Amino acid sequence: MKRSNSSIRRQLLAWLLIPLCCLCLIASALAYQLATSFASDAYDGQLVNSAAAVAARLRFDGVQITVDLPPAAQAILRHNTSDKLYYQILEIDGRRISGDAVLPKPQTNLESDKPVFRYSDLNGEKIRIARIRVIPPHAYDHPVFVQVAETLNGRENLTHRILGAIVIPQVILIVLGAAAVSVGVTKGLSPLKKLERAISRRSKLDLTPVEPSQAPSEVYPLILAINDLIERLKHDIESQERFVANAAHQFRTPIAGLKTYVSLAQRVAKEEKLQPILSQLNSGCDRLTNLVNKLLSLARAEPANKLADRTNLDLNILVSAVTSDLICEALDKDIDLQFLPCPNPALLEGSQGGLTDLTVNLVENALRYTQPGGEVKVKIEEGETYLTLAVEDNGPGIPVEERERVFERFYRILGSDVQGSGLGLAIVKEIAAAHQAHIHLSDSAKDSGTCIKIVFPKAGRVPSARLQPDQKGTSLRAAANARPRSERLTKDRSGLIESRDSQ
Amino acid sequence: MRILLAEDDRFLANGLSDALTESGYNIDTVNNGLDATAAVKLAPYDLIILDLGLPKMDGLDVLKSVRSSGHNMPVIILTARDGLEDRVLGLDLGANDYVTKPFHLPELEARIRALLRKDNWDNHTEVQYGKLSFNTLSRAVLIDGQALELSARELAILEILLQRTGRMVSKQQVVERLSTWDTELSSNAVDIAMHRLRKKLDGSQVEIKTLRGLGYLLEKIE
C-alpha cells in the first residue's frame, strides 16, 4: 500500500489548491488579455490620430500631392511618446510620395476606408503600423495612404504595468488562500489526529472503547467501527484464553487417570524390571501435569484477566516464601540458593497469585539451567520509585541472540537438554506486563550466567512513562543487541537500574 | 469400607476403581450426578468421591442433595478446576476435602484413610478393645501384641464390628457394606466368615455374640 496516496490532508489540499491556482491563473490571463487589448486600442487610436494629423497637412497643387509638415510640427509629432514615430505618404500603388522611406509597403486591405493596423519589423525592432486612406483636399480622384508607425516601448511598458498590477495581487491571493486552506484542512482533520493519538498512546492491555462523545459527526462512525473492532478483538482474545484454560482443564482428568494407572501398576507389578519403566512413566505424567498447570497460569495472567486479586503486599515476604518452597529442588541439584531481601518492607500493589507464579517460574528457570554446584541468588532491591526482583545464576547464560525469544511461548534454546515446559518465562512476561513492570535480561555479574530483573513501580505511584509496558519491548530488544550497547543502555537508565558495580 | 465413586471420565473412574479395590475398598462407580444421588439412597456408603463436573447433575448439586437428605458420610471432591471459589463453595456445601486433578494416588488414599479414621474411629490410629488392638492406618490386628492373620473379608467384618462396639450390627448391614453392585455377598458367605473370625478371636477377651434373627454384637468377656 502506498502511504502517500492515502493522506486525506494531501488529497484535500490537492483538490482545493490546484483548482484554486488554476482559477486564479485563468482569471489573471483573461484580465491581462482584456487590459492589454484595451490598452492596445487606446494606442492604436492615438496612432490613427497621428495619421489623421499628417493627413490634414496634405496639399494638392493640381499636379502632385505634398505634405506640409514644418519641423516644429514634426517635432511635436515625433516627440510626444517614448517611442520612435515614422510616417509616410504613399500612392495607392505603393510609391512613396513623402515621409520616412523605411516603412514596409501596405499589402492587404488596400480598398478599406477604415484604418488598417498591423505589426511589422523595422531594423530588428517591432513596430505597429496604422494606415488610413485619405483623399487630400481638391484631389477628388487621387486617394493616398498615410502610414504612421511607432515602436512598441510605450505599449510594452503599459503591458508590463498591467501585468504587474494583475499578477502580484493574484499571487498574494493564491498564497493567502493556500495558507487559509491548509490551516482549515488541518483544523478540519484535527479530530482524526486526536483519535490517532488517543489510540497510539494506549498500552496493549487497554481494550476499553474509545470515547466518542466529542467527535464530529464524520468521525463518529469511524470511532464506532473502531470500538466495534476492539470489542470483537476483546471477545476473540477472551475466547482464545478461555479455550486455553478449558483445554488445560480437559487435560487434567485423563492425566489423573494415567497417573492413577501408573501408581496402581507400580503397586501390583511383581516384575523388578518393570519398576524403572513405570517410574519413567510416572515422571512423564508429572511433566505433563506441570505443563498443563503452566498453561493454566499463563491463561490466568493474560491481559484480559488482569490478575484481578490485587492487594498491597510485601515482596520480601512473598518471594521469601516462594524461594523457601523451592529449596528442596535446589538441594537435590546441589545448588546454593540464596535469598537477599531489601532492608525495608518492599510494599507493592499486585496480585498475590500472579507474583507467586512469576517468582516460582523465575527461580525454577534459574535452578533448571544452572549446573549442579552452581549458585542462584534471589534479591529484592529498592530504589526511589521502583522495586526490583532480581534472579541471578551462574549457569551457562543465555546467548545474546536468544534473549528476546526466550520470553516467547514454547520457545526453548536449541541444544539445551534440560526438561522444561517452555512456558515459564512467557508467564513471567505476562505477569510482569500486568503489573506495569519492566524486564531486564543481562549477563550476571559473575563470569557466566544470567541476571533477570523485574522492575516494579512502587505501590501508590503512578507508573512513569518509561515504565509503560510498551517500553519493555525496546529494552528487551536493546538487551538482545551487542553486549556493550546493552550495558550503555542500562547505564543510561541509571534512574531505574542500579549500576552493576554495587553488587 | 464401601466407597461411591462419581466420575464421568471412564478412564479415570476405572483406574481409580481398580486401584482402590486393590487397596481393599469396595467401590461402586457412577458416571452422572443423578445416578450418584440415587446410589446414595440405595446403599450405606462410608465415603463418596465426587467429581464436580458431572453430567445430568453438577457435583455441587449432588453434594447439596446428599447433605439435605441427611447423609453425613465424608465426601471428597475431585475437581479439574482449581479456582478458589469452587473449593470454598464445595467445602461450604458440606464436602470434607478436595483433591485437584491430576492427583497422586497415594495422596488421595491418605486423604480417604484420614476421613474414614475421623468418621469411624474419631481420629484414633490405634483402637484397643479387650486384648484386641487394631491399627486404623495399617489395618493390622494384634492380640496381646501378637499379629492375627485374617482374610480380607474377616478383617472387613471385624472392622465394622469394632466401629460399633457394644451396639448391634444387622446381618443386612454387614452384607451391604461388604458388597458392591457387581459382587453381592451371600448371607451364607457372611455366616462362614463370621464363624472363622469367632474362632480366631479366641483368647482376645472379645467375642462376637449372635442375636438370633437380628444380627451381631462385639462384646468384651469379663
Q: How far is A252 from chain B (nearest CA, A)?
A: 5
Cell numbers linked to B72: 453425613
Please give the Cα distance from A430 to A326 (Å, whole number).
22
Contacts of B27 in chain A (CB under 8 A): none
Domain edge (last residue) among B65, B87, B121 = B121
Q: What residues have CB less than 8 Å from A372, skipping those under 6 apart?
A: A333, A334, A335
Domain that holds residue B171: 126-220
**Nearest residue to B56 (alpha-carbon basis) of B107, B6, B98:** B6
Residue B51: its H or E element: strand B47-51
Is A294:A423 a contact under the CB 8 Å cutoff? yes
Class of the A202-306 domain?
mainly alpha
Of A260, A263, A292, the CB nearest to B12: A260
B87 and B7: one domain?
yes
Q: Please, which residues bridge with residue B170 across strands?
A: B215
Is A456:A435 a contact under the CB 8 Å cutoff? yes
Is A468:A436 a contact under the CB 8 Å cutoff? yes
Please give the Cα distance from A440 to A499 (Å, whole number).
13
Would you call A289 and B102 a contact, using CB atoms and an 8 Å cutoff?
yes
B69 and B155: one domain?
no
For residue B12, the domain's CATH number is 3.40.50.2300
CB atoms within 10 A of CB B116: 20
Contacts of B101 in chain A (CB under 8 A): 252-253, 255-256
A221 CB within 8 Å of a chain B CB: no
B113 and B158: one domain?
no
Please give the Cα distance from A420 to A397 (Å, whole number).
16
B172 and B185: one domain?
yes
> Domain segments of chain A: what residues?
4-160, 202-306, 311-502
Query: What pLDDT, on the 0 to 100 scale, is given for residue B182?
Result: 75
Q: Counting every residue, how long is chain A? A: 503
Q: Is A264 helix (H, G, I), strand (E, B) or coil?
A: helix
Identify the CATH number of the domain defined by range A311-502.
Answer: 3.30.565.10
Would you call A257 and B106 a contact, using CB atoms and an 8 Å cutoff?
no
Read off the pLDDT of residues A18-68 as tens digits, 9 standing for 90 and up. 998 898 889 888 988 998 898 889 889 988 988 888 888 888 877 788 888
B130 and B176: one domain?
yes
B141 and B51: one domain?
no
Would you call A250 and B9 a contact, using CB atoms and an 8 Å cutoff?
no
B117 and B20: one domain?
yes
Would you call B105 and A289 a contact, using CB atoms and an 8 Å cutoff?
no
Question: How many domains does one find in chain B?
Answer: 2
Contacts of B9 in chain A (CB under 8 A): 253-254, 257
CB atoms within 10 A of CB B222: 5
Is the pLDDT at B48 greater than 90, yes or no?
yes
Which residues in chain A show pLDDT less than 70?
1-5, 79-81, 203-205, 301-308, 412-421, 445-447, 459-503
Chain B, residues 6-25, CB within 8 A of chain A, namely 9, 11-16, 18-19, 22
Identify the CATH number of the domain defined by range A4-160.
Answer: 3.30.450
B105 CB within 8 Å of a chain A CB: yes
B15 and B115: one domain?
yes
Query: What pLDDT, on the 0 to 100 scale, is given for residue A245?
Result: 75
For residue B207, the domain's CATH number is 1.10.10.10
Is A307:A300 a contact under the CB 8 Å cutoff? yes
Edge-first strand order for the sheet with A386-393 is: A336-340, A375-382, A386-393, A450-457, A438-443
B114 and B6: one domain?
yes
B87 CB within 8 Å of a chain A CB: no
Q: Is B190 helix (H, G, I), strand (E, B) or coil?
A: helix
Q: What residues have CB less than 8 Å from A382, skipping those under 6 apart?
A: A342, A343, A344, A346, A388
Q: How far is B101 from chain A (nearest CA, A)?
A: 6
What are phi and psi for residue B101, nearest 5 degrees?
A: -75, 145
Would you call B12 and A253 a contact, using CB atoms and an 8 Å cutoff?
yes
3-state helix, strand, coil in chain B (%, to 5): 40, 25, 35
A287 CB within 8 Å of a chain B CB: no
Please give the Cα distance from B27 to B49 (Å, whole number).
10
Please give the Cα distance from A452 to A449 (Å, whole number).
10
pLDDT band at B50; cut points 50, 70, 90: very high
Query: What pLDDT, on the 0 to 100 scale, is given for residue A493?
Result: 36
Sort residue A240 into left (φ over 0), alpha (ψ -120 to 50) or beta. alpha
Please give the Cα distance from A41 to A35 (Å, whole number).
10
Cell numbers linked to A410: 514454547
CB pairs below 8 Å between A and B: how many?
61
CB atoms within 10 A of CB A217: 6
A249 CB within 8 Å of a chain B CB: yes
Of A259, A264, A267, the CB nearest to B104: A259
Q: Which of B31, B86, B104, B109 to substitute to test the interface with A, most A CBs within 10 Å?
A: B104
Would you call B105 and A260 a contact, using CB atoms and an 8 Å cutoff?
yes
pLDDT band at B131; cut points 50, 70, 90: confident
B37 and B71: one domain?
yes
Domain edge (last residue) among B93, B121, B149 = B121
Sort residue B170 into left (φ over 0), alpha (ψ -120 to 50) or beta. beta
B72 and B143: one domain?
no
B140 and B207: one domain?
yes
Task: For chain B, give the mean pLDDT.
Answer: 86
Contacts of B16 in chain A (CB under 8 A): 257, 260
Nearest CA in chain B to A266: B19
B109 CB within 8 Å of a chain A CB: no
Tally the C-alpha atoms within 13 A of residue A361's C-alpha that lie toward its C-beta: 30
Q: What residues have CB less than 8 Å from B103, skipping those under 6 apart?
A: A256, A259, B78
A257 CB within 8 Å of a chain B CB: yes
Domain edge (last residue) among B84, B102, B121 = B121
Read off the pLDDT of residues B141-195 as tens digits, 9 standing for 90 and up. 888 888 888 888 888 888 888 888 777 888 888 888 888 777 777 888 888 888 8
B83 CB within 8 Å of a chain A CB: no
